[in-house]
Structure 1
Amino acid sequence: MLLNRGGSAATITTTARELGLSGKHFRARDLWSGTTSSTTGTLRANVPSHGSTVLRIWPVKAPR
C-alpha cells in the first residue's frame, strides 16, 4: 500500500527490493482501478491527498 498523508496529490515511488521482493521483472495490479502494468522493479503511483493506492505485485519470467 502506498499512503499519502500530505495535503496535496503526490507521486509516490518505491522499489520491489524495498518491499523485500527479489527478482527483476514484476507485474503490478492497482486493486482500486484494476489496471495492470509491468515493471523491472520501480513502482510508482499518483496518490491523492490523504489517500492510498493498494498494489498486488508478483514476479514474472523475463521477456524473451
Structure 2
Amino acid sequence: MTRPPAVAVPAVVAPAPPPRRPSAATGELPRRACGMWAGTAKAWACVKGSYEISAGRSITGRRLAAPINV
C-alpha cells in the first residue's frame, strides 16, 4: 500500500494577543546568583552591585524585569 504524496500547508499567522495587565512575581534567589566563584577561597563570593532580574517562559520571552541592589 502506498501513501498519497504530502500536501504543503500554508503558514498561519495568529493575531496579536490583547494587551495584558501588569504582572508581578516574588521569589528567592540563592546567594550565589549575585556572585562569582572565588577559586582561591574555593567558595562563592557575593559581588556587590546592581543587577537586573528577569522572568519569562524562555530566554527570548522574558516578560518581567526588575532591578535589585546587593
Greater share of strand: 1
Q: Which has the higher helix share?
A: 2
Same fold judged by TM-score > 0.5? no
Q: With CA pairs under 8 Å and 6+ residues apart, which has the higher RCO, 1 or 2?
A: 1
Name which one, 1 or 2, has greater alpha-carbon Rg: 2
TM-score (norm 2): 0.21
Q: TM-score if structure 1 supplies the norm length? A: 0.21
